Amino acid sequence: MPLVTGIGCIAALPAKCLEMGPPPPNLQAHLVSGGVPGREVQKVVKMARERADEYRLVADPDHRAAVVAAARRLGFGYAVRNGTNSGVVVYNNRFLRDSDWAGWLHALINVTSRGFYGDQTALSVALGRSDVDARRAASAEKERLRFDAPP
- Quick: pLDDT tens for 48-57: 888 888 888 8
Rounded to two decimals, what is the model's pTM?
A: 0.74
Q: Is the dihedral of CA 46, 49, 52, 56 positive or negative?
A: negative
Percent of the chain with pLDDT over 90: 14
Mean pLDDT of 136-144: 55
Report CA dihedral (143, 146, 148, 149) to the nearest 10 degrees.
-130
Q: In DSSP terms, which residues pair with 91 in a beta bridge?
A: 7
Per-position b or e across 27-41, b if 16+ CB within 10 A of its CB: ebeebeeeeeeeeeb
pLDDT of residue 76: 93
90 or 148: whose pLDDT is higher? 90
Secondary structure letter of residue 20 according to DSSP: S
